[in-house]
Amino acid sequence: MDRRRFLRSGALLAVPALGQAQQLQLHDSEAALPPAVKALKYRIGEAKGITLAEREMRLARARELMAISTFDAILMAGGTSLTYFTGLRWGNSERMMCFVLPAKGNPFFVVPHFEEGRLRERLDTVPGGQNVRLYLWQEDESSYELVRKGLADGGVLTGTLGIEERTPFVFANEIARACPNLHLVDATPVVAGCRMIKSPAELALMRLACSITMQVYEAAWKSAHPGMTTRDFSSLCVRAYAHMGVVGETNCQTGPFSALPHGSLTPQVIKENEMVLIDDGCLVEGYQSDISRAWVYGKPTDTMLRHFDIVHRAQAAARDAARPGAECQQVDAAARKVVADAGLGSDYQTFVHRVGHGIGMDGHEWPYLVRGNTTKLQPGMTFSDEPATFVPSEFGLRLEDDMVITANGAELLTAQSPSLEYPFGRSPSS
């Protein structure tokens, strides 16, 4: 369970689950929205979805990587990777549905017989469309035996089968039993090898998601005030996202609770002169934003201002260190050095987490900007850049923007926050 689902499950937000957020538009009149939120434009029409031609290129790239890793096929069940390669959004249950891509020949699905109609009506998003092989199983039959049969029909009797990392263990275990002549391995070199390099179309969707998030954050900041609960602040952001035509959420923490990196379930009220820390983002055509901002309504303490300056410089240092050929761990080290040199402790004393994670269709995905990761950066990789300092029982301060590795360095997809008093570069009344 990721932090967003954890916080939702604890009723931190007095709003429906993420997939139901847009329903709030049906229940809130336009007049009930604060002026800054009401002024936001409906922007989902700007999004251009991923095309079938791009998915075809993704499968071709996967096969190139399969040749390098000497995989004979890869298999994935429901989840993000299935959506990435096929366009299908399909969850997992005890009944296995999976997609298998052989190194040669046509891919195929194994799906419950009673789900055939639901799958066929969606095949237009899948490379190969209606010509993709389907292996259907009844309730008293083995879906795992059909994986073996599908591979055998394509000439794969022995060899290596890569399993996408988020495929349920029970599926992988039973496939191994049904296919004793196949060697099952982690398919991450292929799947991550494709997904971690973003295309221009993917980057356009991520830029739009980031732009929308910043507009929602600013509108909520203008509309909020001391005395407002963090729950109401988060709900306002969900309504603002829905007003712009997307699904999104915000984790809002304040005062000493902001010192907990992923927040607290404790009910909180925004107070004057205390830190407010917000995090999370929105989803545009399957692509995510993840942005954090911190501010104070009133007057920040000298300690808060000092921490802001240090974290701001650490974020810039990470951005400047992120360039093609650099190792992921070097980006983390660059930000951590700024914090240590400022006297806030080396290692993980106040800067308690890595400087960033990959982002794209999942909020957290490969690769990770953390000590020990020697993966070299390449153009098209996208990350969060989020140094932070946390002072237990007092406050936490994180500045997070998403960035893309370019041919010459790295670019933040949103402008750095300029100050604790004016996190969006202007006063709330402007």
Summarize pLDDT for 139-187 with one digit per residue, the tens: 999 999 999 999 999 999 999 999 999 999 999 999 999 999 999 999 9
Do the Cβ atoms of 312 and 385 come closer than 8 Å? no
pTM higher than 0.85: yes
The DSSP 8-state label assigned to residue 132 in this structure reads S
pLDDT digits (tens, 9 = 90+) for 355-391: 999 999 999 999 999 999 999 999 999 999 999 999 9
Do the Cβ atoms of 359 and 384 come closer than 8 Å? yes
CA-based torsion, 234, 302, 395, 283: positive or negative: positive
Residue 78 is predicted with a pLDDT of 97
CA distance 196 to 167: 19
CA gyration radius for the chain? 23
Q: Is the pLDDT of residue 12 over 50?
A: no
Q: Is the pLDDT of residue 315 over 50?
A: yes
Tokens of 83: 């959506």
E-state strands within 14-171 = 73-76, 98-102, 108-112, 133-137, 159-163
Contacts of 110 (CB under 8 A, 6+ apart): 96, 97, 98, 100, 135, 137, 143, 146, 147, 150
CA distance 384 to 337: 18
Q: Torsions phi, psi of 401, nearest 5? A: -135, 155
Residue 300 is predicted with a pLDDT of 98
Q: Is the pLDDT of residue 415 over 90?
A: yes
- The amino acid occupying position 31 is A
Residue 30 is predicted with a pLDDT of 61
Residue 131 is predicted with a pLDDT of 85
- How many percent of the chain have pLDDT more than 90? 90
pLDDT digits (tens, 9 = 90+) for 238-247: 999 999 999 9
Q: Is the pLDDT of residue 339 over 90?
A: yes
Alpha-carbon distances of 272 from 186, 230, 254, 298, 326, rounded to whole Å: 51, 13, 10, 5, 43
The DSSP 8-state label assigned to residue 259 in this structure reads G
pLDDT digits (tens, 9 = 90+) for 299-309: 999 999 999 99
* Mean pLDDT estimate for the chain: 93
